[in-house]
Amino acid sequence: MKQNVNHDGLALARTTWRTLEPYHGAVYFSPEAAERYAALGVDARTGYFASRSAALGAAPADLVVATFYNFNPQLVRRAIPAAWEAATPERFAAARLAGVDATLRRILGADIASPALARAAELARSAAEVTVSHPQGRPLFAAHAALPWPTAPHLVLWHAQTLLREFRGDGHVAALLAAGLSGLEALVTHAATGEIGAEVLRDSRAWTPEQWEQAVRSLRERGWLDDGPHLALTEDGARRRAEIEHTTDRLAALPYVTLGPAAAAELRSLVRPFSLAVAKELLPWAVDRLGAESA
């Protein structure tokens, strides 16, 4: 896939993804989804790994470790393949969709049937369908792209953003690999930007404090982090981290550039209220960012 994308195209890719991401992210914090995983006999954490990887089929643990990238492999192996003994991948995929359906209906209420949401779904699907012809090197995306499209507009919008998100995510993993960062080291450099707390990143991916500190030491030795008392990137580390984000944006730009600036701006405008409603309910850390983007 050949891409010659200018600065405006990269900005278009990043801003559109950031505006729509909370709408997709509802599924990871959905109590309704957790209830459906529990009905299949697993806890919410196992349900996360099983439902997101279900598109791959009954994947072995190492495939989930590879595609999810920054989770402690021991955490993944506690969930997979045991999840497939509780229920089939098809049932986990159905539970995921049913869970996010219930969550979006609860949060959005009457807006579920609004013309704005229907139009947003149409635009997002147009963007996502561009990616379907480019599965090479993107295994988690390709698996989700093979799933059938839902019919309800609010789920079409959610599935479209799922595809765009996994398309971007697989490209991000490639950029991290090219930069020589392991999944844990990627988390440490993310924490060093100050965007999100180190403990949140470490604990949510089940890395131990000892493993985290070992990664910090390695990154300091390699010039990514400074030697101060607080976790911070060196000038060279900040440059290299920016290069990773630039590469990620470039690899993710195709659907948004194809959609075009006007349609992408319309999509952001339409989805922002829905993303904001989801963020206020489930992702409070995203509220300020969405507010700033609309200012």
| pTM of this structure | 0.94
How far is Cα 95 from Cα 99, in angstroms, rounded to an integer?
6
- Report if residue 185 sits inside a domain: no
Domain that holds residue 248: 13-178+244-284
Tell me the backbone φ, ψ of residue 68, rounded to 5 degrees: -85, -25
How far is Cα 228 from Cα 237, in angstroms, rounded to an integer?
14
Closest by CA to 158, choosing from 132, 125, 134, is: 125
**Residue 191: burial class (beta carbons within 10 Å; 0-12, 13-18, 19+):** buried
- Report if residue 265 sits inside a domain: yes
- Report if residue 39 sits inside a domain: yes
- Return the pLDDT at 292: 61
- Report if residue 5 sits inside a domain: no
At residue 140's C-alpha, the angle toward residues 243 and 9, to 5°, is 40
Positions in the chain short of pLDDT 50: 1-2, 295
- Return the pLDDT at 295: 46
- The tokens for 91 are 């049932």
Cβ distance 112 to 105 under 8 Å?
yes
- What pLDDT digit, counting tens, does each position of 122-133 carry? 999 999 999 999
- Report if residue 260 sits inside a domain: yes
- The tokens for 164 are 């765009």
CA 37 to chain centre: 20
- Report if residue 197 sits inside a domain: no
Cβ distance 270 to 120 under 8 Å?
yes
- Report if residue 45 sits inside a domain: yes
- Report if residue 168 sits inside a domain: yes
- What pLDDT digit, counting tens, does each position of 206-257 carry? 999 999 999 999 999 999 999 988 999 999 999 999 999 999 999 999 999 9
- What pLDDT digit, counting tens, does each position of 130-155 carry? 999 999 999 999 999 999 999 999 99
Q: What is the count of structural domains for the chain?
A: 1
- Return the pLDDT at 37: 98
Cβ distance 166 to 144 under 8 Å?
yes
- Return the pLDDT at 143: 98
- Return the pLDDT at 5: 67
Closest by CA to 138, choosing from 208, 209, 196, 66, is: 66
